[in-house]
């Protein structure tokens, strides 16, 4: 199982980090830390250009996260026609990792404030697709 059911539209399936999707199904949003030098990555990656290591361990993205910026998209690309409007966000975790994703539709655009506290959670979508989103902390 790879990325074929990840997000609203997927474009490719295979990757060494496909366990990301398995963890989502288990209810966790995870990313990686290089086993050799300890460098942390988001998006997750098994390969470490800093020490040339090829093994990483998974850890959960949790705890306080803060909204850095956002936009509400009115016109989506192919496959997103029925999805728009949706809000894309960049969110920083307390340990410094910067992440990207969707904001929960439960938060109205007028209630979005830069700097607001958020948390990340896996979400099941229609047609057996799976993703993650940022929700009110």
Partner 1 sequence: MDEDVAIIGVGQSVFARKCGVSVRELCFQAYKEAMEGLDITKDDIDASITCSAPEYDKQRTPSGLISEYLELTPKPAFYVESVCSSSSTGVRIAWSLIKSGLHKVIAVIGFQKMSELTSREAAERMGRGGDIIWESPFGVTMPAGYAMYARAHMAKYGTTEEQLARVRVKNSSYGVRNPKANYRKELSLDDVMNSNVITSPLKMFDCCANCDGSSTVIVARGDIAKRVSKTPIWIIGLGAATDTMTMSGRKSLTGLECSQEAGKQAYEMAGLKPEDIDVAEVHDCFTVSEILAYEDLGFAKPGEGPGLIDDKETYVDGRIPVNVDGGLLSKGHPIGATGGSQIRTIVRQLRGEATEAQVKGAEVGLVHNVGGVGQYGNVTILRR
Is residue 90 near partner 1 by the rule CB under 8 A? yes
Look-up: residue for tokens 């029925």?
82
Among 22, 47, 58, 73, binds partner 1 (CB under 8 A): 73
Distances (CA, A) of 20 to 10, 58, 62, 68, 123: 14, 9, 15, 24, 13
Residue 11 CB, shortest distance to partner 1, in Å, is 4
**Is residue 87 helix, strand or coil?**
strand
Is residue 84 near partner 1 by the rule CB under 8 A? yes
Residues at the site binding partner 1, with contacts judged by CB under 8 A: 3, 6-12, 15, 42-43, 68-80, 83-84, 86, 88, 90, 98-102, 109, 114-115, 131
């Amino acid at each position: 199982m790879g990325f074929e059911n990840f997000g609203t539209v997927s474009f490719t399936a295979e990757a060494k980090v496909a366990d990301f999707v398995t963890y989502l199904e288990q209810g966790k949003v995870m990313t990686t830390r290089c086993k050799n030098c300890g460098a942390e990555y988001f998006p997750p990656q098994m390969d470490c250009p800093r020490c040339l290591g090829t093994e990483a361990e998974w850890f959960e993205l949790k705890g306080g996260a803060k909204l850095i910026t956002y936009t509400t998209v009115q016109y989506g690309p192919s496959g997103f026609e029925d999805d728009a409007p949706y809000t894309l966000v960049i969110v920083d975790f307390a340990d410094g990792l910067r992440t990207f994703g969707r904001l929960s539709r439960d938060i109205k655009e007028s209630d979005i404030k830069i700097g607001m506290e958020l948390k990340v959670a896996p979400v099941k979508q229609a047609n057996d697709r799976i993703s993650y989103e940022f929700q009110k902390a």
